[in-house]
């Protein structure tokens, strides 16, 4: 098995591609669920492994005395709706188990709580940057060893990235691998063809000496698409 390890200190913030089900929501606004599941391959061939969140939870939150991870509405940093207390976030063998509290004094918080109880809003999704990963050439997957957790959002389930991103109109507007993937899908390529393309540009970027492999991957993808 061929493994290439990279550090991505300058990586762009991403959201997980597979929102996860809220397990329970109480009348007082308490929410329980898994914000990430270990060992599952997402649509971009990324796999989060156990231990990926520990350094971020210690360094970004506990060491700085922060009370917890922001709870956002649909990854919108302008609309926080509550908090995931740091003492209520923990990894187990399945994934990142979280217990949070919707702020019922905030209008959007009350709205999200009501929608979640109805079942119209039933997903959890994380916003993160990758700090340490490995590319498995044999399995054609990127193994996320360490991620920096920025936020955990309440999202519409089972909506994926395709439902949250605007349509790509031209190559000049592509800024991420997600944009490139949507562009290729709109162009009529199959999912397997798109995954193969994205996996290949990621593999080429990770063979470079640059710390920002994601940026190089996007640059390579744009060069290929323009030709």
Active site residue ranges: 75, 125, 151
Residue whose pair of structure tokens reads 């470079």 in the numeric block: 208
Within a 10 A sphere around the Cβ of 115, how many other Cβ atoms?
Answer: 16
CA nearest neighbour of 217 among 2, 36, 10, 60: 10
DSSP state of 49: -
* Cα–Cα distance, 111 to 156 (Å, whole number): 13
Q: Which two tokens stand for residue 132?
A: 């340490």
Phi-psi group of 18: left, alpha or beta (phi > 0 → left; psi -120 to 50 → alpha; rest → beta): beta
Surface-to-core class of residue 132, CB atoms within 10 Å of its CB (0-12 exposed, 13-18 middle, 19+ buried)? middle
Q: Which residues, 6+ apart, have CB-to-CB distance to 46 below 8 Å? A: 17, 141, 142, 144
DSSP state of 185: H
């Amino acid at each position: 098995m061929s493994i290439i390890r990279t550090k991505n200190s300058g990586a762009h913030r991403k959201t997980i591609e597979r929102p996860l089900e809220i397990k329970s929501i109480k009348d007082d606004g308490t929410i329980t669920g898994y914000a990430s599941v270990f060992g599952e391959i997402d649509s971009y061939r990324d796999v989060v492994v156990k231990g990926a969140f520990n350094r971020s939870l210690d360094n970004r939150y506990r060491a700085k005395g922060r009370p917890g991870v922001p709870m956002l509405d649909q990854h919108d940093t302008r609309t926080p709706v509550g908090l995931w207390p740091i003492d209520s976030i923990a990894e187990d063998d399945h994934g990142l188990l979280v217990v949070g509290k919707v702020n019922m004094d905030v209008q959007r918080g009350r709205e999200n709580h009501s929608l979640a109880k109805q079942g119209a809003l039933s997903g959890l999704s994380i916003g993160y940057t990758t700090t340490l990963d490995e590319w498995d050439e044999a399995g054609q997957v990127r193994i996320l060893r360490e991620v920096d957790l920025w936020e955990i959002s309440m999202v519409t389930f089972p909506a994926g990235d395709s439902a949250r991103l605007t349509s790509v109109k031209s190559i000049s507007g592509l800024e991420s691998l997600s944009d490139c993937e949507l562009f290729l899908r709109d162009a009529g390529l199959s999912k397997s063809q798109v995954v193969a393309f994205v996996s290949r540009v990621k593999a080429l970027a990770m063979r470079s000496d640059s710390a920002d492999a994601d940026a190089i991957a996007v640059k390579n993808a744009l060069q290929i698409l323009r030709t």
